[in-house]
Structure 1
């Protein structure tokens, strides 16, 4: 028995040191103590657990993470929100607990899908408040879930683990947390290196769907071997085994997730409920009148191994594929370059439609403007002042233009309007994580003699700016201003309001009630300053 306990302690030490470094207070606990803990029946994880209180602030952790995807340049440009969508006039709300419980019971699963008021709040967040984003993630799942399922099957793990990526990254392979966690499975640097993922200046395998999923499966498998319980393993994935073991100890040795709920770090309390809610939502989205929105990236792809340096620009210049698609399909490459060598090949994912062309033209592609991208056949030429192709464009011979950020702008849009690289725009203005704010002045370097041309962009409307790069914007329908009915109570829409948010502010009013009164089909009909009927007076 001592050998067994010694091995468990060694495993715990290895993983707790590296797991989710943002929790600085993680301390090892002797896992041999777990043998003395009674495993509580999961039957207690039901709606009858009346002692469990709802923390209103918990939703914001995952809500913000999802919003970062919905408002990202990738989603705004790779999803078509205007073409022949099915728009439902309403969606069900105020669903009874018994319906939720019955639907969760019907899902074939290994991991216990407990139900209580905390889980219910997360279900409502996905199915009512964040419907647009869930529809985006449903479309992305058509690409990512087959990858996840194949890997989970390889390790004989529950396939519903795939839904963990929903709450980790909202299926955004380039997602990065404030603490530095990266990729679909949100690995911290130390944990990723421990799981043998490669992270260099050119490659970050935390962003590789296949490699990162394999690492996540192996890591979760080891956590499950420690706890023998998927709720605790999932919680430990988020906050580290040290925090979970401390919660177990402080609760007197209880190992039921819901009984140690308030002993866990704040974000982790919402982690398992959000996972259960994501599982429910993706299994029952049709019942909530949600329709997948598919990305403008090919779903039918293949992989070829590259054995020499290759820049995405070389591929885009010779094949019928643009660089943005290459980035979407190959998010692990940080600087648009594959640093491959004969003794260390790397994968290149391409749509099936262009794979044969690449195989036939691979020599031509690799030779295309090679000296420009790889001077002296190196990734970086130390003899040049620019330091290599990936540094910002040399501003010598260029003139500075100041652009004032407008509402709706993002780094991708601005760089396309000024015909500069997004990486250069970030560098010139010290932009981190593509965060810019309305009213901010951005420096943009344009060719000499063209400042007048580019300064005009400041005065253009969004539609005019898009038109300047050959894109059209569907004009918004004029808002009809209806006279207020003195017999009704009205709500004035503010920035960030959703129908679900507004309904919560008025007792006895549901989001369905508000939509029916105002002839709305969804939140997309809202605008700041709009007057919404809430209910009749008296």
Structure 2
């Protein structure tokens, strides 16, 4: 009898084990009815299309056939994702499909704008990722992070193309001050992102978890792994801890997969590709003087908007080169002109943009000699408080007791509490100059 019971227990255990979903099946069959889309989907597309770079350097292909179908079958999506030449796994499921649908249907104009911006930004991303030996498909992380807007700021304060929080950015060596925010610098932030992503991958040995940790931090991923009871490194996988992650992070890897899809297969959904209206070739120069974008614009005859697009890290159009040398990106043909005209640029309207290092306040004597002040009679009202005397009140205003008695028709030196006394005082006031 014991043998029979033991056999039944073993059989039931075997059935249960075979029925439990594996990570492999879970990543393809998982579904979620409460999907939270990234803030990048809220980007004001109309405002983005007014970007100076998009207006002057790109144009949408008007001859493109827009009659392509909006949707495809699950089998087609799986085939297309499988054909992507990526190291990072790109599985398909209904969550991934919801993000693909969002990009290819409701956010078509956003994709068109991002395709235009990608002509400039993608080479910068790829060079940084290549230098640090991480997969090039990570170049599409800024698509879901910021919609390729270097000035993007999330509700939580994450900033720039790669959406770094301030502590993380400073930990990676980026400068953040009133004048400079290197989270907005495409070159500096891309280098930092590549370093950080490599650190996260070394921590988990899995790119899906590294990407999730990039969004919500290693602490939340580690907590999710503990709650899921996963300790073996080979079992660590984003999809195995999906429901233990913060809600926003659950959609992060699916959004990343969808971004790779739409930036590759946009033409198969009737989304117009962006074409280069004219090439933009840039170079950089180190600036060792404090200069304003307007000074550069006026001397080199470059639109201020173009300087801002190429140098979004300078928050107030000021390069504080007097503190330390800073990099300035310009169209390559203008770099030599800047070097030759550096003194002229710094001297252009110098008094308008100068920052005073030493200031002495103007003396009263100088002001009086300049005739800018005069003495004027001012009548004030003093309400007598408990315990106050005429002598104390007179001392407070710098007048005599007899004057107070005369101004208020008083004969005695005593004054009742609550009485309002008229006090005549003289004050120095600035002479108002007539409007020209």
- TM-score by shorter chain over 0.5: yes
Q: What residue in structure 2 maps to residue 158 of structure 1?
A: 135
Question: What's the offset of the Cα at 1:83?
Answer: 7.5
Q: What is the DSSP-based 3-state SS (H/G/I as helix, E as strand, rest coil) of the residue aligned with 2:50? A: helix
The alignment status of 1:126 with 2:106, answered yes or no, reads: no
Give ranges in structure 2 of 5+ residues lacking alignment: 1-20, 363-434
Distance 2:25 2:116 in 1: 35
- Report the Cα distance in structure 1 between the residues aligned to 2:32 and 2:359, rounded to whole angstroms: 58
User: Post-superposition shift, 1:196?
Assistant: 0.7
1:186 Cα deviation (Å)? 0.6
Give CA-to-partner distance per residue, 1:276-298, whole Å, 9 cap, x none: 01011112122222223468896
Aligned to 1:256: 237
Verify the 8 A CA contact 1:79 1:296 in the aligned structure 2: no
Alpha-carbon displacement from aligned partner over 1:266-316 (angstroms, at most 9, x marks no partner): 110010000001011112122222223468896211111111111101011
In structure 2, distance between residues paired with 1:194 and 1:304: 26
Q: 1:84 to 1:73 in 2, by over 3 A?
A: closer
* Counterparts in 2 of 1:340 and 1:369: CA distance versus 1, 3 Å: same
| Corresponding residue number in structure 2 for 1:141 | 118
Aligned to 1:231: 208
In structure 1, what is the equivalent of residue 42 of structure 2? 67
Q: State whether residues 178 and 315 of structure 2, in contact with CA within 8 Å, keep that contact through their aligned partners in structure 1.
A: yes
Instruction: Return the offset for 1:88.
Output: 3.9
TM-score for both structures, normalised by structure 2: 0.72
d(CA) in 1 for partners of 2:89 and 2:273?
26
The separation in 2 between residues aligned to 1:231 and 1:272, in whole angstroms, is: 7
Give a deviation string over 1:340-397, Cα, whole Å, max 9, x none: 13x7211111112433322322221111111210144x5xx76799xxxxxxxxxxxx
CA contact (8 A) 2:71 2:269 kept: no
More helix by share: 2
Q: Work out which of the residue numbers 14, 33, 38 in structure 2 matches 1:55.
A: 33
| Equivalent position SS for 1:220 | helix
State the partner residue of 2:348.
368
Deviation of residue 211 (structure 1)? Answer: 0.8
Deviations 1:245-280 (A, max 9, x none): 111111121522112111100110010000001011
CA distance, structure 2, for counterparts of residue 137 and residue 55 of structure 1: 28
Give the 3 Å change call, closer, same or farther, for CA 303–117 of structure 1 in structure 2: same
C-alpha RMSD of the superposition: 2.6
Select the structure of larger CA radius of gyration. Answer: 2
1:242 matched to 2:222:
no
1:325-364 equivalences under 5 Å are: 325-341=306-322, 344-364=324-344
Once the 2 structures are TM-superposed, how far is the Cα of residue 177 of structure 1 from its aligned partner?
A: 0.5
CA shift in 2, pair 1:360/1:65, >3 Å: same
The within-5 A match list for 1:171-182 is: 171-182=148-159
What is the CA–CA distance in structure 1 between the aligned matches of 2:210 and 2:361, rounded to whole Å? 51
CA distance in 2, matches of 1:296, 1:197: 33
User: Whole-Å Cα distance in 1 between the matches of residues 169 and 293 of structure 2?
Assistant: 26
Q: CA deviation at 1:77?
A: 5.2
Q: What is aligned with 2:194?
A: 217
Distance between the aligned counterparts of 2:335 and 2:22, measured in 1? 52
- Distance in 2, Cα, partners of 1:211 & 1:110: 25
Paired with 2:151 and 2:277, the residues of 1 have a C-alpha distance of 17
The DSSP-based 3-state class of the residue aligned with 1:252 is coil
Report the Cα distance in structure 2 between the residues aligned to 1:77 and 1:145, rounded to whole angstroms.
18
Aligned-residue offset at 1:54: 2.7
Following superposition, the deviation at residue 149 of structure 1 comes to 0.8
Which residues in structure 2 correspond to 1:270-419 (within 5 Å)? Answer: 270-293=251-274, 299-341=280-322, 344-376=324-356, 378=357
**Structure-2 residue corresponding to 1:21:** none
Looking at structure 1, the residues matched to 241 and 205 of structure 2 have their Cα atoms a distance apart, in angstroms, of 16
**How many residues are paired up?**
337
Where does the alignment leave 5 or more consecutive residues of structure 1 unmatched? 1-39, 386-448, 450-538
What is the Cα deviation at residue 142 of structure 1?
1.1
Choose which of 80, 98, 113 in structure 1 pairs with 2:90.
Answer: 113
Picking from 169, 178, 182, the partner of 1:205 is 182
SS of the residue corresponding to residue 314 of structure 2 reads coil
- Going from structure 1 to structure 2, the CA distance change for 1:243 and 1:383 (only over 3 Å counts) comes to farther
